[in-house]
Each structure stands twice: as C-alpha cells, then as structure tokens.
Amino acid sequence: MNSKKINSIYNEIFETYPKVEIEEHIKKLIELDYYYPYNSTFYCITNTVHKNFEYISKNFTSCTGLSRDKLMNGGMDYYWSLFHPDDINLWLKSLTDLMTFTMTELNDAQRKRMSYTWNYRIKVANNSYVNIIQNTTPLQFDETNKPIIGMAHYTVLDGNIKMDICASAKYLNEKNEYETLFYKNVSSSKLLDFITNRERDIIRLIITKNTSESIAEKLNISIHTVNTHRRNILKK
C-alpha cells in the first residue's frame, strides 16, 4: 500500500480541525530529553492533524540507526514508508477500531484519561525489521473531544519475535490504576482473546506481585471478585 493510500485512510480516522496548541509540552520534553539515558525506547509528540512529529527524542537514532532529522522532515509519510508491507492493513484496522471505540463508547471525561497501545514492524538502518510496541497518551483534543496530539512511547523488540498485531485501550481510574476497556487481536483469534478485559488487568497486577487485597483496592472491586477472576483465569 502506498503512502498516498495510507494518507487517505488515516485522514478518515483522524479527520479534525487544524488548531493545535502544544508549545509548552514540546519545551518541557526537549528539556527532559537531555537527561534521559539511551535505551531501547524512544518517544515522540505525534500530531494527527498535520501528520507530523512535533518532537522526536534522541533515542530514535540509537534504537533504529535512522536519522532523527529525516523523520522530523518527512513526518508520518516517511515513518509509514518504513512499515512492513504485511502489517499496514492490520495497523490501519487497529487504529480504526480504537478510534471507533473512543468516539462511540467513551464519554468526554474518560477520553481524557485513556492510554492506547498497538504494534507493528518497521525497517531499520540495517534493512532488517524490528517490532515496535507503541503506547500513546492523548495530550490535546479537538472540539469533539477526539484525541489529536499524543505523547507516544515506542518500545523496540527483536524482529524475529513473532507478534500478532493487537490494539488496546486503558482507562486511568480514580486510584491511578489503568483498567483495560478495549482489546482486540486483529491478526488472529487465540486463547488470550477469550480472557476478559478485567482478567487482563488482574493478570498484569498478579505479574507485578500485587496481592488480592491490593488488586481489589487498585481496581475498586471486592477481594471476593478478585479471587473469582483468579479462579476463572486458571481454568482458561
């Protein structure tokens, strides 16, 4: 799929108004980026209105071997040109599903406390492909409360790892704990697809060594409910 076609579909997903106000975000991120160590993640401020990057962290080059200036100048058109051809349609589907969920299932207050995750592969400087897990938190919204500016964190994993393309949306609740409200595997249906969103949250908290009491508090549910979910997870 060529860049022009991607542009057309992307515009349909993120059609919005052109006013963007993010100067203070950019100033602060440039300031902080100086102190961040080099590692296997990088971050950007994404602008869906103009399809560009308002800021790209220094780790982009250390993670991919690619030029940060080239990405800044080429914007999303250049970034999309790096995508693995087999992943483009699945990636667009994941974006469409996430945006449909956001605009039809969430209220205005929820949209401002969401975090979105999806994955795909890109070609890096040595002409091999790596897996990218992108997590985006909205920073600014248009007049219909559609997210248009985001803080995107990209985790780079070995391209030999076989990963289905999945999309998820998490809500930051009153306890400052993320709850999964949406999850979809757009590549295939597997056992994990039968695990509910609540069970995903409990698995994540179990892995990080939370007790049933702690999980109940973080997710605003009873200990009895947590233990019921744990039994159901084991059965599955």
Q: Whole-prediction pTM value?
A: 0.77
Domain boundaries, the chain: 3-172+179-186, 195-236
Domain 3-172+179-186, what fold? Beta-Lactamase (3.30.450)
What are the phi and psi torsion angles at 139 (to 5°)? -110, -30
The pLDDT of residue 164: 92
What is the Cβ-side half-sphere exposure of residue 168, based on CA atoms within 13 angstroms? 20
The pLDDT profile of the chain, 236 residues, written as one tens digit per residue, is: 777 778 788 877 777 666 666 666 566 666 666 655 566 899 999 999 889 999 999 999 999 999 999 999 999 999 999 999 999 999 999 999 999 999 999 998 899 899 999 999 999 999 999 999 999 999 888 888 888 899 999 999 999 999 999 999 999 988 888 899 999 998 876 655 577 888 889 888 888 888 999 999 999 899 999 999 888 888 77
195-236: CATH architecture: Orthogonal Bundle (1.10)
Joined together, the tokens standing for residue 152 give 């995107």
